[in-house]
């Protein structure tokens, strides 16, 4: 564990969710902060323009990456189709066509990609499944993002004993088998899919916290943070206005990796039979149903697999592109 | 270095204790118990069972009893697999998981590293796109799809290899599960190696080396690869622990008697002792893996020394 | 150490771990049967085992007082013959003189006394102890109220076993085919304790004896030369492979790695009929797939009209033809039609057309205050199982036009069965597979207050009819009384039966002596390969 020296002490006066740390050595400028009128302007002056030009620069470089741009376009297309598609199709999610059980793709009966073994339109279910897969991934990623970023930034910023304790907790979480935690969560929250994925997000934040902590440790020595401190800006503001925005690059990259990870996790849990409840479905559920039918009804495997693979492909390419675009060292 | 190792191991003890405690109580929070099965038991039989496994005692008492036994190295009998102790189950399954998982990681390194290096050198070329595209396929196709396809194609339709079974670890039985398990790892390792290689190739000391007039091959093989391996190294520790314990899909589809399934089935069956055994085992494995990785790290990177 | 050295080191270590190519499963001239056997056995202790995948091994390793032939009929086992007293309460078993354990010791009446006292002892905590409750004093012994020697089982000489029953139990002999009644070797249990079932320690008296057990890998049993009928056992070895994934079992059957599989994956049945017609067997077994209606106080399903309507609106044949595709016999009663010596009733509506049924269902729901404008909301609970997940989906779709909105809820086994036990459900999946071939094995499920009465059903008329049947000695009179009880149950629409099971099995065409049978017991001792 690091023994990072702790240049700034925090006063945790405004009730930010910081764990009560050990004895913080009193520092010359700690204590009740004076009302700081010049602070917002300073913030804007020191960080915002730099951030904006960084973003513009990154976007410029991303847009030159053809693979990433194509991925972005396809990803948007998939999302749009999944959101709008089901309204345009004649079948409902749970609607059974009593005349078509497990039929193949055809144009005759408006089941363009065939039906599943329960006589429900496969295309409709794939699109609804996409909604679920994408939204659970988003929910879990956002939860892990929020927890991970706050935790990492606070830990890195406060440093010292607090940092040590907080990272120790991360170590403990790492030593718990992830599958065990996830299965227990599935069992406990079994009724609500979004609750489950919020909970999964709540155990997925460990890497994020480590990354952000590392960034914070590096950033907090930089001049503009020291300047903010000298101007008497409160710790919470320094963390939320300066540290987190400046750590955003690696965070974005990590999120593009977390989303596919959660999508895969969801499909794995579906394979174990712990997926969403019927009549809802997800790509993972559809794929694991399709695997059973691989030889006799290959389209039941191919269609959802195609959507899943395309999405994961795009997310990964986009993530690589973002990394290249955001990382100054790879220029 | 020895002192550092001992210190790290000592530090792990409280971590493991907390992990065990958390798991013990988490497991008991889950609804349903080990005896909730298809046949509901008459109350007198259930009472007998609860008494036989000390489940009729208050939870803190059970916790103390468990910790006491654990200190004597006794994980207790499995609730589900009654004829085996948890230790026997893990000791029977672990060599199998280690062999499958170790070979898969080895294969992934042998294939993934060169691919990643090649892609990094020929960045944004056809080679790069081809390698990364293939690698991504490995990530994008879940292994519960890949493994049955392998079993069907190579085991059943072509008949080249056994469709399943362990057969004492015979070579033909190893091929399909190892390959199926390694595909995702190849993809991860190739991508990681590519990214870190690109970073190293852009760094000052490589530029300096080039400026000194070293030829490109020398730059890459003598100077760039070694530091570029560091992030891959730190990935390997958790990855090996993960692959050894998390291969439940492969085990199920190929009928491999490893320990991956215990992590899933133990939790699903509320096999309290088996779950706790796997948790302890996993915790120890993670600690050891991370320690080994850190020691290797110091071997690879001369700037890091663990002398204290 | 360089990375190259590291990789080389790991490589060597791993190669060293790999044993040389193992020999093929079939040795020259030896008949080795490889059975894909459902799941890893929880135990090989006959008195602790509960699952069918354990029974299939135990009936090869051990032999009870009676055994089953290839067709599932009861044949003499360790007992060569037996007599029943006129009041049906006393049985005398005459044990064969040549019955031996695999260590050469004779199997005696004392072995049975020991085994039966053992399963009932509270300390063993055997889940299936209740199987022996018909024996006099068994329940009190199991509760710990009475010492084990009060049990109504005595060995009057080494080859004569006397059993006294609590009440005349028509199915008593059939029940003795169940592994929980098998004898166990006292000396091995005394010596090895809970390790007595390990290879090398386990002494058995069946046609085969345990030679290898690698957890989750395989169990091997070799022919027991001490078995009294050993000369008629053709197989030299039986290997049980715990393959819990039906797809894997099918793959390995097709690849010729197993000779028998006890399942076919859902959705592959038509393919198997086309491509594996010689190997595929579809046969009824004694099991009913039904859903339990929670009829405890406060449940909306306490209303008989709703239960009847839900039963009426069910197109059972659509489910068996389109969803399961196994053409199981539609169930309009609790007791399977294949059960022996029982002619039970069926729902009153069976002869009505579907239109008549639907009209009546609508009327009933309307009378109960529900309809499409005022839908009845129900939750249907199932256990997580890919093979049955399609059925609830179809039920929900069938009930929807009546104004019944169903929320589907599947949970893992432990959660699901805990919910059933606590009565925390509305409609719950409750398949029942018979332990012995007798109608009472099903009908007892609805007796007030018994453990597996998931519905919380309670009807005093039903209870008294069942009690009367339990004390009736005359077989046909008993059967008629049970049929009257089932009539009461069906008129109450106390359950939602769907179908009676069809069991699928894949058996290599070269294997002879395997026969489909309603108990789904297939002792390996009757089997052999015709060419090998």
Contact B283 A175 (CB under 8 A): yes
pLDDT at C197 (0 to 100): 95
Residue C16 predicted with pLDDT over 80: no
Which residues belong to CATH 3.10.105.10 in chain C?
285-502
d(CA B23, CA A181): 9
Residue B177 predicted with pLDDT over 90: yes
Query: What chain B residue is nearest to A312 in terms of C-alpha separation?
Result: B140
Query: What chain A residue is nearest to C413 in terms of C-alpha separation?
Result: A187
Contact B275 A180 (CB under 8 A): yes
Which of B27, B145, B202 shows the shortest C-beta gap to A287?
Answer: B145
Residue C8 predicted with pLDDT over 60: no
Least confident residue range of A44-58, A316-330, B288-302, C137-151: A44-58
Least confident residue range of A188-192, C5-9, C195-199: C5-9
pLDDT at C26 (0 to 100): 47
Residues 147-186 of B with CB under 8 A from C: 148, 151-152, 155-156, 159, 162-174
pLDDT top residue among A7 and C104: C104
> Mean pLDDT across the stretch C373-396?
89
Rounded to the nearest angstrom, the minimum Cα separation between A207 and chain C is 26
Residue A21 predicted with pLDDT over 80: no
Residue A38 — pLDDT band, cuts 50, 70, 90?
very low
Residue A331 predicted with pLDDT over 50: no
> Mean pLDDT across the stretch C303-321?
94
Residue B211 — pLDDT band, cuts 50, 70, 90?
confident
Collect all residues of chain B within an 8 Å Cβ-Cβ radius of residue A179. 245-246, 248, 263-264, 267
Percentage of residues of chain B with pLDDT beyond 70: 97
Helices (H), A47-121: 48-64, 66-88
Least confident residue range of A61-65, A82-86, B11-15, C314-318: A61-65
Contact B32 C50 (CB under 8 A): no
pLDDT tens digits for C225-248?
999 999 999 999 999 999 988 889
Do strands C528-529 and C511-512 pair parallel, antiparallel, or not at all (unpaired)? antiparallel
Domain boundaries, chain A: 52-330
Select the residue from B28, B32, B104, B175 to test the C interface by mutation, using most C Cβ atoms within 10 A. B32
d(CA C68, CA C74): 5
Residue A320 predicted with pLDDT over 50: yes
Residue B22 predicted with pLDDT over 80: yes
Contact A320 B132 (CB under 8 A): yes
Contact C323 A94 (CB under 8 A): no
Rounded to the nearest angstrom, the minimum Cα separation between C390 and chain A is 6
> Mean pLDDT across the stretch A239-258?
76
Collect all residues of chain C within an 8 Å Cβ-Cβ radius of residue B76. none
CATH of domain C41-241: 3.90.76.10
Select the residue from A137, A180, A265 to test the B interface by mutation, using most B Cβ atoms within 10 A. A180
Highest mean pLDDT among A89-103, B47-61, B242-256, C323-337: C323-337
CA dihedral A223, A225, A227, A230 (to 10 degrees): -130
Contact C125 B30 (CB under 8 A): no
CATH of domain C285-502: 3.10.105.10
Q: Is B198 in CB contact (< 8 Å) with chain A?
A: yes
Residue C532 predicted with pLDDT over 50: no
B172 Cα distance to chain centroid: 23
> Mean pLDDT across the stretch C348-372?
94
Q: Which residue spans within C269-403 are E strands per DSSP?
A: 280-293, 376-383
Residue C99 — pLDDT band, cuts 50, 70, 90?
very high
d(CA A242, CA C455): 62
Phi, psi (degrees; rounded to nearest 5) at B51: -70, -40
Which among B293, B162, B178, B147 is positioned nearest to B243, based on CA atoms?
B178
Contact C410 A279 (CB under 8 A): no
> Mean pLDDT across the stretch A185-196?
77
d(CA A136, CA A285): 13
Residues 218-277 of C with CB under 8 A from A: 247, 265-268, 270-271
Mean per-residue pLDDT of chain C: 90
Which among A307, A147, A300, A149 is positioned nearest to A215, based on CA atoms?
A149
Residue A45 predicted with pLDDT over 60: no
pLDDT at B302 (0 to 100): 62
Q: Is B225 in CB contact (< 8 Å) with chain A?
A: no
pLDDT at C36 (0 to 100): 94
Six-digit token string for C72: 């599932």
Rounded to the nearest angstrom, the minimum Cα separation between C383 and chain A is 10
Residue A329 — pLDDT band, cuts 50, 70, 90?
low
Q: How many residue contacts between A and C have a Cβ separation below 8 Å?
A: 68
Q: DSSP state, C287?
A: E
pLDDT tens digits for C469-497?
988 888 899 999 999 999 999 999 999 99
Residue B239 predicted with pLDDT over 90: no
pLDDT tens digits for B67-98?
999 988 889 888 889 899 999 999 999 999 99
pLDDT tens digits for C185-201?
999 999 999 899 999 99
Q: Is B152 in CB contact (< 8 Å) with chain A?
A: yes
pLDDT tens digits for C78-91?
999 999 999 999 99
Collect all residues of chain C within an 8 Å Cβ-Cβ radius of residue A278. 389, 392-393, 408, 410
Select the residue from A274, A296, A299 to test the C interface by mutation, using most C Cβ atoms within 10 A. A296
Which among C490, C498, C429 is positioned nearest to C462, based on CA atoms?
C490
Which of B136, B145, B278 shows the shortest C-beta gap to A177?
Answer: B278
Residue A8 — pLDDT band, cuts 50, 70, 90?
very low
Residues 61-120 of C with CB under 8 A from B: none
Least confident residue range of A201-210, C11-20, C327-336: C11-20
Residue C370 — pLDDT band, cuts 50, 70, 90?
very high
Collect all residues of chain B within an 8 Å Cβ-Cβ radius of residue A177. 245, 263, 278-279, 282
Collect all residues of chain A within an 8 Å Cβ-Cβ radius of residue B152. 294-295
Contact B80 C42 (CB under 8 A): yes
Collect all residues of chain A within an 8 Å Cβ-Cβ radius of residue B268. 183, 187
Residue C7 predicted with pLDDT over 70: no
Chains that touch C (3 or more CB pairs under 8 A): A, B
Residue C360 — pLDDT band, cuts 50, 70, 90?
very high
Query: What residues contact residue B217 under an 8 Å CB cut-off, 6+ apart?
Result: none
d(CA C199, CA C184): 15
d(CA A61, CA A56): 9
Q: If phi over 0 gives left and psi between -120 and 50 gives alpha, with beta otherwise, what is residue C342?
A: beta
pLDDT top residue among B15 and C107: C107
Query: What chain A residue is nearest to B17 in terms of C-alpha separation?
Result: A172
d(CA A261, CA A204): 10
User: What is the residue-wise DSSP string for A236-262?
Assistant: HHIIIIIIHHHTHHHHHHHHHHHHHHH
Query: What chain B residue is nearest to C126 in terms of C-alpha separation?
Result: B45
Residue C319 predicted with pLDDT over 70: yes
pLDDT tens digits for A132-158?
999 989 889 999 989 998 898 888 888
Query: What chain C residue is nearest to B295 in terms of C-alpha separation?
Result: C1
Collect all residues of chain A within an 8 Å Cβ-Cβ radius of residue B136. 312-313, 316-317
d(CA B184, CA B195): 17
Collect all residues of chain A within an 8 Å Cβ-Cβ radius of residue C386. 273, 288-289, 292
Select the residue from C49, C121, C134, C255 to test the B interface by mutation, using most B Cβ atoms within 10 A. C255
Residue C100 predicted with pLDDT over 60: yes
Residues 176-215 of C with CB under 8 A from B: 194-195, 197-198, 214-215
Residue C184 — pLDDT band, cuts 50, 70, 90?
very high
Rounded to the nearest angstrom, the minimum Cα separation between A203 and chain B is 14
Contact C271 A119 (CB under 8 A): no
pLDDT at A34 (0 to 100): 35
Least confident residue range of A56-65, B268-277, C173-182, C288-297: A56-65
Chains that touch B (3 or more CB pairs under 8 A): A, C
Least confident residue range of A166-180, A191-205, C396-410: A191-205
pLDDT top residue among C516 and B198: C516
Residue A22 predicted with pLDDT over 50: no
Least confident residue range of A232-236, B18-22, B269-273: A232-236
CATH architecture for the domain at A52-330: Orthogonal Bundle (1.10)
pLDDT at A20 (0 to 100): 30
Which of C22, C48, C215 shows the shortest C-beta gap to B84?
Answer: C215
pLDDT at A328 (0 to 100): 56
Instruction: Count CA atoms closer than 13 A to C13's CA, side-chain side.
Output: 13
Query: What residues contact residue A7 under an 8 Å CB cut-off, 6+ apart?
Result: A159, A220, A221
Radius of gyration of chain A (CA): 24
Is residue A122 within 8 A of residue A182, CB to CB? The reply is: no
For the entire predicted model, the pTM comes to 0.86
> Mean pLDDT across the stretch B162-188?
90
Contact B296 C452 (CB under 8 A): no
Mean per-residue pLDDT of chain A: 76
Chains that touch A (3 or more CB pairs under 8 A): B, C
Residue C380 — pLDDT band, cuts 50, 70, 90?
very high
pLDDT top residue among B171 and C18: B171
Q: Exposed, middle or buried, C517 (CB in 10 Å: 0-12/13-18/19+)?
A: buried
Collect all residues of chain B within an 8 Å Cβ-Cβ radius of residue A174. 238, 286
d(CA C58, CA B91): 26
Give the three-class secondary structure for B73. Answer: coil
Which residues belong to CATH 3.90.76.10 in chain C?
41-241
> Mean pLDDT across the stretch C117-138?
91
Residue A327 predicted with pLDDT over 80: no
Looking up tokens 């193949």 gives: A104
pLDDT at A3 (0 to 100): 34
């Amino acid at each position: 564990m690091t023994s990072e020296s702790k240049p700034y002490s925090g006063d945790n006066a405004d009730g930010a969710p910081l764990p009560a740390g050990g004895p913080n050595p009193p520092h010359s400028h700690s204590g009740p902060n004076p009302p700081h009128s010049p602070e917002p302007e300073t913030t804007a002056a020191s960080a915002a323009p730099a951030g904006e030009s960084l973003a513009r620069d990154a976007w410029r470089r991303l847009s030159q990456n053809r693979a990433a741009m194509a991925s972005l376009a396809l990803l948007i297309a998939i999302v749009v189709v999944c959101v709008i598609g089901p309204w345009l199709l004649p079948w409902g999610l749970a609607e059974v066509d009593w005349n078509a059980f497990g039929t193949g793709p055809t144009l005759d009966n408006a089941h363009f990609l065939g039906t599943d073994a329960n006589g429900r339109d496969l295309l409709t279910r794939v699109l609804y499944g996409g909604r679920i897969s994408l939204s659970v991934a988003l929910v879990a990623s956002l939860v892990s993002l929020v927890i991970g970023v706050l935790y990492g930034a606070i830990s890195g910023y406060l440093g010292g004993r607090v940092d040590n304790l907080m990272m120790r907790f991360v170590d403990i979480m790492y030593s718990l088998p992830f599958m065990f935690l996830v299965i227990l969560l599935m069992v406990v929250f079994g009724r609500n899919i979004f609750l489950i994925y919020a909970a999964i997000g709540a155990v997925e934040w460990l890497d994020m916290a480590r990354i952000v902590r590392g960034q914070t440790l590096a950033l907090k020595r930089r001049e503009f943070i020291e300047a903010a401190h000298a101007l008497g800006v409160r710790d919470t503001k320094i963390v939320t206005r300066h540290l987190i925005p400046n750590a955003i690059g690696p965070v974005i990259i990590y999120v593009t990796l977390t989303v596919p990870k959660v999508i895969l996790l969801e499909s794995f849990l579906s394979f174990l039979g712990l997926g969403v409840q019927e009549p809802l479905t997800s790509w993972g559920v559809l794929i694991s149903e399709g695997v059973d039918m691989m030889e006799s009804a290959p389209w039941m495997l191919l269609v959802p697999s195609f959507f899943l693979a395309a999405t994961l492909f795009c997310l990964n390419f986009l993530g690589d592109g973002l990394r290249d675009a955001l990382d100054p060292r790879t220029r | 270095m020895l002192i550092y190792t001992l210190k790290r191991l000592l530090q792990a003890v409280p971590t493991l204790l907390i992990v065990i405690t958390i798991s013990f109580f988490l497991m008991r929070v889950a609804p349903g118990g080990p005896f909730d099965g298809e046949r509901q038991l008459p109350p007198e039989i259930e009472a007998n069972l609860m008494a036989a496994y000390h489940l009729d005692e208050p939870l803190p008492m059970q916790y103390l009893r468990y910790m006491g036994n654990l200190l004597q190295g006794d994980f207790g009998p499995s609730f589900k697999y009654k004829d085996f102790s948890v230790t026997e189950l893990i000791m029977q399954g672990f060599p199998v998981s280690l062999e499958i998982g170790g070979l898969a990681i080895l294969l992934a390194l042998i294939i993934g590293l060169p691919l990643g290096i090649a892609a990094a050198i020929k960045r944004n070329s056809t080679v790069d796109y081809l390698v990364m595209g293939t690698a991504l396929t490995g990530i994008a196709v879940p292994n519960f799809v890949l493994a049955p396809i392998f079993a069907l194609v190579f085991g059943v339709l072509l008949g080249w290899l056994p469709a399943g079974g362990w057969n004492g670890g015979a070579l033909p039985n190893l091929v399909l599960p190892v390959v199926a398990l390694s595909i995702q790892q190849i993809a991860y390792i190739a991508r990681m190696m590519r990214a870190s290689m690109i970073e190293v190739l852009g760094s000052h000391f490589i530029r300096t080396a080039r400026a000194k007039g070293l030829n490109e091959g020398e730059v890459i093989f003598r100077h760039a690869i070694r530091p570029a391996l560091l992030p891959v190294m730190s990935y390997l520790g958790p990855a090996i622990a993960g692959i050894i314990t998390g291969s439940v899909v492969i085990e199920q589809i190929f009928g491999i008697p490893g320990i991956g399934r215990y992590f899933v089935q133990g939790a699903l069956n509320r096999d309290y002792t088996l779950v706790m055994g796997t948790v302890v085992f996993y915790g120890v494995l993670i600690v050891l893996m991370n320690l080994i990785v850190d020691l290797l790290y110091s071997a690879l990177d001369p700037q890091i020394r663990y002398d204290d | 150490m360089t990375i190259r050295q590291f990789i080389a080191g790991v490589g060597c270590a791993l190669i060293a771990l790999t044993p040389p190519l193992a020999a093929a499963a079939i040795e020259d001239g030896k008949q080795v049967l490889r059975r894909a056997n459902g799941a890893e056995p929880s135990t090989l202790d006959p008195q602790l085992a509960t699952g069918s995948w354990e029974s299939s091994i135990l009936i090869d390793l051990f032999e009870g007082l009676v055994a089953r032939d290839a067709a599932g009929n009861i044949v003499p086992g360790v007992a060569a013959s037996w007599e029943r007293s006129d009041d049906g309460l006393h049985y005398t078993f005459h044990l064969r003189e040549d019955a031996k354990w695999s260590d050469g010791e004779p199997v005696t009446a004392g072995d049975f006394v020991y085994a039966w006292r053992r399963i009932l002892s509270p300390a063993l905590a055997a889940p299936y102890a209740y199987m022996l409750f018909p024996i006099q004093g068994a329940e009190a012994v199991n509760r710990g109220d009475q010492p084990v020697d009060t049990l109504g089982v005595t060995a009057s000489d080494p080859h004569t076993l006397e059993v006294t029953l609590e009440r005349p139990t028509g199915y008593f002999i059939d029940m003795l085919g169940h592994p929980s009644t098998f004898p166990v070797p006292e000396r091995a249990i005394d010596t090895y304790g809970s390790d007595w079932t390990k290879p090398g320690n386990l002494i058995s008296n069946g046609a085969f004896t345990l030679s290898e057990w690698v957890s989750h890998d395989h169990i091997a049993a070799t022919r027991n030369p001490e078995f009294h009928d050993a000369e008629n056992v053709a197989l030299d070895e039986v290997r049980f492979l715990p393959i819990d994934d039906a797809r894997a079992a099918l793959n390995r059957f097709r690849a010729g790695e197993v000779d028998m599989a006890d399942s076919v994956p859902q959705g592959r049945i038509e393919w198997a009929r086309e491509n594996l017609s010689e190997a595929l067997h579809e046969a009824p077994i004694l099991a009913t797939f039904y859903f339990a209606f929670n009829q405890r106080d406060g449940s909306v399903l306490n209303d008989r009209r709703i239960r009847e309507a839900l039963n009426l609106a069910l197109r059972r044949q659509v489910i068996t033809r389109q969803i399961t595709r196994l053409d199981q016999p539609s169930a309009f009663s609790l007791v399977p039609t294949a059960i022996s010596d029982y002619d039970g009733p069926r729902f009153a509506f069976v002869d009505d057309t579907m239109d008549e049924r639907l009209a009546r269902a609508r009327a009933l729901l309307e009378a109960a205050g529900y309809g499409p404008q005022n839908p009845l909301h129900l939750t249907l609970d199932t256990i997580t199982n890919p093979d049955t997940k399609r059925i609830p989906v179809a039920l929900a779709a069938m009930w929807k036009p009546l104004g019944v909105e169903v929320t589907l809820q599947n949970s893992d086994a432990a959660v699901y069965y805990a919910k059933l036990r606590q009565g925390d459900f509305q409609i719950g999946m409750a398949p029942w597979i018979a332990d012995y071939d007798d109608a009472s094995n099903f009908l007892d499920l609805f007796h007030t207050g018994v453990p597996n009465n998931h519905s919380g059903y309670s009807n005093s008329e039903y209870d008294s009819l069942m009690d009367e049947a339990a004390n009736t000695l005359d077989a046909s009179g008993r059967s008629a009384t049970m049929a009257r009880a089932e009539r009461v149950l069906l008129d109450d629409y106390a359950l939602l039966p769907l179908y009676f099971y069809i069991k699928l099995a894949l058996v290599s065409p070269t294997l002879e002596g395997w026969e489909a049978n309603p108990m789904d017991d297939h002792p390996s001792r009757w089997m052999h390969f015709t060419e090998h």
